[in-house]
Each structure stands twice: as structure tokens, then as C-alpha cells.
Chains A and B, each alone.
Chain A
């Protein structure tokens, strides 16, 4: 009998050890004083394939924190980050659970990618922890009507998103080609990941309502290593305007292989992410000149275009970023900075209490007009927590730099 007892007993002992480890660490260490720092949980993918732009967004957070703390913080209380890495949806659930039940954490801020934002914000809302989303553009993030979720960045489902593209094509792209949108042949190419498919779905819908002549729709896996067949199909379709939604490495590959295979549509309109990353600029250099890129924040604008009351000003933000990070910010850093600054200045500083209810009340009350953030858009949340004033901007690569060209009011350097 002793032998047959042995294994279940050992198995039980193992489970017991697991339980005890868990018990032992239950003892909390929560001490709160009036002057204690305010802790914000930062949830971003910092390893794995999403890490490049996750890090870019983290840079924006850090610069916002430095500037805000230097300006005195929340009545003298400094902001502290508890940075957690969430490379996969599974890790996002784990990290969001930990952060949202940590008594020291006031709110969670994240998460760049929709595949991280969607599961993480669901967990946070279940635990009634405010979740501040600064990066995910997918419609599904706020569509679910979660109670504690606020998104400062645009949703792909917002009319403003499609309208901006439609206006840009009819007012800028088509005139540049001395044509009108209904005479042009459009091509669509996208990586088949979450980002590529949702952005391309929006473009397909727009093409449907606007009657664009969409003659080619090509998708591919982002980890591909040869895009010849995709490029040849696009070439064969004889397109005038290419709408392109790549991730980072395939943006590089697409640009280089297009050049090698002599594929040069009259007009290329790229969608954010891959085209607005440091890696892309480093890889293609000035080969990208002339490329137009749409993204959720404008780059290289000037103080005079924004509200005079904005503090820190746009140039102060750029200077601080260059000092701290060593180069100019790109869109995701700008979006991270804007989101974090609104959270610090408009929510944490103005909330009556720093519990979930106080933060929700303060968030509902945020009312920033156009020009009152460094990304030029205003902030006001609708009933789903979506910032209904978020914008969508068009930039062009000029001598290796992204220059905002639309809306025309922001077009500083033509």
C-alpha cells in the first residue's frame, strides 16, 4: 500500500507548496501618507514583437511624468510608475489583474496594442480600476462599453477617422494627381494582423460609401520575408493610389522591394504604426521621401498652432524629450505623452478623491478644446469612454522627417 500512497501524497504536497507560496506573500505592505507618491500602473508590451512601439509609448509616459513632477506634481505628491511588461494577451490578463487589485495603484495606463488593451481593460473594469488607454485604435476597445475605461486616442470606428481620410483624398491626394477620387484606381495592401485588418476594414468601408474604384486588395502575414508576389499583383492592377497598412518589418520590406521591383504608384498613403517607427526611418532613410503617412498625432508642428495656455508647451515637450531620450518623439511617444499629461493634469490633479469613483468623476469632467494638448486635439469623453475630440493626421516624409501636411491648419512646413 505504501507505494500506491506515495504518488498522490507527493502530488498533494506539491499543490500545497504552491498554495503556501501564495499565502506567504498575501501579507501586504500598504502604507499611505498624505505626501506619499501616487502610483500609476503602466501596462505595455516591452518584450516580443510589439515592443518597439510599446517602448516608444513608454518614453512618452516617462517624459510626461518628469515634466509633471518637476512642476510640483499633484499638490506636492509625485507620480510614480509601476511598470509591467505584458507581451501577450495572456500576460495582459495577469498583469492587469495584479495592478488592478494592488491597493497602491491609483489607475492603470497603457497599452499601445489592441490585443493587449482589450483583455487588460476587461480585467481592470471587472475589478473597478480606472484604465487609461493611450494607444489602441481598434473599435472593439471602447465598443464593449466598459465602465472604467477611457481612451484618449482616436477609435477607428469614429466618423472623424474616415472623414479625415476621405477629405484628405479629395482635397490633397486627388488634386496632387490632377484628378478626382472617382477617376483614380485604388489599391489596398495590409498585414493580416489585428492592426492591419481593422484599419483596412475601415478603408474598405470608406471605399464602398465613397465609390472609390478599389481594384486590388492584398494581405500578407507580417512575418513574411518576400513580398514579390504581393507587389507584382499590385503592379498588375495598375493602381494610382496605394493605401498601405503594414507593421514595422514588413513596412521596411515593402518599401525596399517596391523600389527594387520598380513599383511606384503615383501616390502612396500609409497608415501609421510601421511607417512612423524609428526602425523604419533607420532602415529606409530618405528612400521614404514623399511618402504620406496617416496617424493619430501630428509631428513637427509649432507652438503658435496650439493654445497659448498650454503648459508645458509643444517646444518644451520636444526639448524635454530630446534631453531624456536623445532624439525627437514620434507619434506613439506623442500619444503616450498626451494621454499621460491629461491623466496627471486634468484627472489626478482635479479629482476630489483618488479612489476609482473620484477618478471616474474627474475623467467625465475633462473638457479640453482643440489646441489644448500637444497633439492639437481636444479631450472630452463620450459615454463609452472614448475621446470624441481625438483626431487623425496626415504627414509626409521630407528629407527623412515627418512633416504634418493635413489638416492644413497644422501644416507648418509645406
Chain B
């Protein structure tokens, strides 16, 4: 029974990893940029949720659309003002630029909110859980998982069925060819970065009732996000979702069997093995 509980918890936290990783993988697939600021975008999403709650008294799940739209705007703005200029450059420059953006967002959060750990508690949800047999499912975690699933399906639908999505996929496959076909590549990039950022915002909203926020909260989650992205296959949205759940489960099981201190080593060792043995990931990176 305990193992099932661990599995359930792993799957649920995997949903949060997936939500972050889907955003990273989308940007990577379409723009070929490894976004090191994604963790900080999640952090901004968390603070925004907190702010909307403390200032306007909004329930985090009510604030969800506001945060998602705001983060879309922030992501699009980051592309328009900054990333646009490095799309043609090597990945070294792109990585360092996103690192710089991350540092700026982190410092700004520290200056505005201070370094303390701030939590948001919504009464019906505090410590709330659904108990089935001896398995307990945290309500806030379940909500995060459901949102991650819906977001992934919605994104896959967008990529598969809409004109915008088709333009994104075309750009991902061959930018030059897409340009020749008359696809406005820069606008596709703008939308991609916006969606990637909005996904980080969604993850932030769902994480806020689960976990206290502080300026460097995104760093650790981001690193796990990279593991998930590589596992799922760079650029594969469905792979990122699946990878998120796998990593969540691996982390939980390794923590239970070997102790929590070893689970980080196991996760990152698994990461290296995947990179060396199957760098294309579990699903080939062609969904985007």
C-alpha cells in the first residue's frame, strides 16, 4: 500500500514538473533556445498569485487566467526586447542571455518581496486531501496534476489543429523553409515564447498553495525541468509530460527506497545515462 502511495505522490508532483518542462521544450523545439529563465518565470507566477491574493483577495484558482495572461505578456515582451536579437546566434550566447534574464528577475523579486519564505493558505485546501482506502491524495497537488494534463492536451491541440500551431511546427522543422513559405517567423517566436512563459505562470499558480515562494524557488525546479525535457526528447510536448511523470515517480521511489538524500543523485545520474544512451529521449523530438 505504501508503494502505491509513493507512486501516487510521484505522479502528482510529476504533473508540476511536466507543466514547467512543457514550456521549456516548446521554446527549445521551436526557437532552439534553452531557456534558463523558465524557473524564474515560474517564480514570477508564484509571486503574482500571492500578490493577487493579498491585495485583491483573489483565490489562486480564480487568479489563474490573470497570471497566465500576464506571464504570456512577460514572455512575449522578453522575446520582443531581448531574445529576438540572439535567435541567430549560437546556443552559448542564448543560454547566457537567459541566465542574465533569470538573474535580473531573481534580484528584482528579492528587492520587492525580500528573501523570506511566503506561503498562501486557502482554507478549504489547507492540508486537504482525498482519502481512498489508505491512499491520501492532496487536493492542491491533484489540481496541479489535472491542470498540467489539460494544458498539455490543449497545447497539443493547438499545435496540431490550428494555423498558428502549424506555423509553429513548420518553423520548428525548418526555419528557412518556413520563411520562404511566408510564415512570419518572428511572430511565431513571439507567440511561442509567450506560451512557454504562460505555462511557467500556470505552474506557478498551481504551486503557490503547495509550496512557499522565495526568490530562488525556481532554480531547483528548473534543473529537474531540464532532466524532464531531455528524457522526453528535446522539443516533444507529449514527451515532456510523460517525462515529468516518470521523473516524479523515480524521485519518489528512489527517495523511499534509498533515502531522500540519494534521490537527487539518482535523478541526475539517470539524466546522464539518458544523454549518453538515448539523447533523442523516450519520444523522438518531432511532436512540435
* Whole-angstrom CA separation of A51 from B254 in the bound complex: 32
User: Which residues of chain B are within 8 angstroms of A226 by Cβ–Cβ distance?
Assistant: 9, 13, 248, 251-252
B214 on the A face (CB < 8 A): yes
Residue of B nearest to A287 (CB): B127
- Once the chains bind, are A228 and B2 in contact (CB under 8 Å)? no
Given contacts A249-B214, A261-B129, A262-B131, whether A224 and B119 have CB atoms under 8 Å apart is no
Query: 8 Å CB contacts to A: which residues of B245-262?
Result: 248, 251-256, 259-261
Question: Scoring B residues 253 to 276 as 1 if CB is less than 8 Å from chain A, else 0, what string do you get?
Answer: 111100111011000000000000
- Once the chains bind, are A228 and B5 in contact (CB under 8 Å)? yes
Query: 8 Å CB contacts to B: which residues of A249-266?
Result: 249, 252-253, 256-257, 259-262
User: Which residues of chain B are within 8 angstroms of A308 by Cβ–Cβ distance?
Assistant: none
User: Which residues of chain A are within 8 angstroms of B264 by Cβ–Cβ distance?
Assistant: 221
* Whole-angstrom CA separation of A46 from B136 in the bound complex: 39
Give the distance to chain B from A296, nearest Cβ to Cβ, in Å: 21
* Whole-angstrom CA separation of A220 from B129 in the bound complex: 23
Query: 8 Å CB contacts to A: which residues of B204-239?
Result: 207, 210-212, 214, 216, 219-221
B114 on the A face (CB < 8 A): yes
User: Which residues of chain B are within 8 angstroms of A252 by Cβ–Cβ distance?
Assistant: 117, 119, 212
B194 on the A face (CB < 8 A): no
B116 on the A face (CB < 8 A): yes
Given contacts A253-B211, A261-B136, whether A236 and B127 have CB atoms under 8 Å apart is no
- Report how many residues on chain A are interfacial, defined by Cβ distance under 8 Å: 40
User: Which residues of chain B are within 8 angstroms of A92 by Cβ–Cβ distance?
Assistant: none
- Once the chains bind, are A283 and B212 in contact (CB under 8 Å)? yes
- Once the chains bind, are A249 and B117 in contact (CB under 8 Å)? yes
- Once the chains bind, are A229 and B118 in contact (CB under 8 Å)? no
Residue of B nearest to A223 (CB): B220
Residue of B nearest to A257 (CB): B138
User: Which residues of chain A are within 8 angstroms of B221 by Cβ–Cβ distance?
Assistant: 225
User: Which residues of chain A are within 8 angstroms of B207 by Cβ–Cβ distance?
Assistant: 225
* Whole-angstrom CA separation of A256 from B118 in the bound complex: 14
Give the distance to chain A from B140, nearest Cβ to Cβ, in Å: 9
- Once the chains bind, are B259 and A279 in contact (CB under 8 Å)? no
* Whole-angstrom CA separation of A413 from B251 in the bound complex: 44
Question: Scoring B residues 94 to 138 as 1 if CB is less than 8 Å from chain A, else 0, what string do you get?
Answer: 000000000000000010001111110100001111010000101
- Once the chains bind, are B117 and A260 in contact (CB under 8 Å)? no
Range of interface residues on chain B?
35 or more
User: Which residues of chain A are within 8 angstroms of B129 by Cβ–Cβ distance?
Assistant: 260-262
Give the distance to chain A from B160, nearest Cβ to Cβ, in Å: 32
Q: When the two chains form the complex, which single residue of A48, A232, A233, A285 contacts B121, counting CB atoms closer than 8 Å?
A: A285
A219 on the B face (CB < 8 A): yes
- Once the chains bind, are A229 and B255 in contact (CB under 8 Å)? yes
Question: What's the dominant secondary structure at chain A's contact region?
Answer: helix
Query: 8 Å CB contacts to B: which residues of A339-374?
Result: none
B6 on the A face (CB < 8 A): yes
Question: Scoring A residues 278 to 304 as 1 if CB is less than 8 Å from chain B, else 0, what string do you get?
Answer: 110011010100000000000000000
User: Which residues of chain A are within 8 angstroms of B248 by Cβ–Cβ distance?
Assistant: 226
- Once the chains bind, are B117 and A283 in contact (CB under 8 Å)? yes
Give the distance to chain B from A228, nearest Cβ to Cβ, in Å: 4
* Whole-angstrom CA separation of A229 from B248 in the bound complex: 11
Question: Scoring B residues 3 to 20 as 1 if CB is less than 8 Å from chain A, else 0, what string do you get?
Answer: 001100110010010000
* Whole-angstrom CA separation of A278 from B114 in the bound complex: 13
Given contacts A226-B251, A279-B119, A283-B121, whether A232 and B6 have CB atoms under 8 Å apart is yes
- Once the chains bind, are A48 and B116 in contact (CB under 8 Å)? no
A218 on the B face (CB < 8 A): yes
Interface centre among A55, A249, A260, A282 (most CB of B within 10 A): A260
Given contacts A225-B13, A232-B6, A249-B212, whether A282 and B256 have CB atoms under 8 Å apart is no
Residue of B nearest to A48 (CB): B115
Question: Scoring A residues 173 to 209 as 1 if CB is less than 8 Å from chain B, else 0, what string do you get?
Answer: 0000000000000000000100000000000000000
Question: Scoring B residues 187 to 205 as 1 if CB is less than 8 Å from chain A, else 0, what string do you get?
Answer: 0000000000000000000
Q: When the two chains form the complex, which single residue of A230, A232, A259 contacts B5, counting CB atoms closer than 8 Å?
A: A232
Query: 8 Å CB contacts to B: which residues of A18-38?
Result: none
- Once the chains bind, are B6 and A229 in contact (CB under 8 Å)? yes
User: Which residues of chain B are within 8 angstroms of A262 by Cβ–Cβ distance?
Assistant: 129, 131, 136
Q: When the two chains form the complex, which single residue of A49, A192, A225, A287 contacts B211, counting CB atoms closer than 8 Å?
A: A225
Give the distance to chain A from B39, nearest Cβ to Cβ, in Å: 12
Apart from A47-B110, A226-B9, A262-B136, list 11 A-B contacts with CB within 8 A. Answer: A49-B115, A218-B260, A220-B261, A226-B13, A236-B2, A252-B119, A260-B127, A261-B136, A282-B118, A283-B117, A283-B212
Residue pairs across A and B with Cβ atoms less than 8 A apart, 17 shown, are A46-B115, A51-B115, A51-B116, A52-B115, A52-B116, A55-B116, A218-B260, A220-B255, A228-B252, A229-B9, A229-B255, A235-B2, A236-B2, A256-B127, A260-B129, A283-B117, A287-B126
Which A residues are closer than 8 A to B by beta carbons?
46-49, 51-52, 55, 192, 218-221, 223-230, 232-233, 235-236, 248-249, 252-253, 256-257, 259-262, 278-279, 282-283, 285, 287
Which B residues are closer than 8 A to A by beta carbons?
2, 5-6, 9-10, 13, 16, 110, 114-119, 121, 126-129, 131, 136, 138, 207, 210-212, 214, 216, 219-221, 248, 251-256, 259-261, 263-264
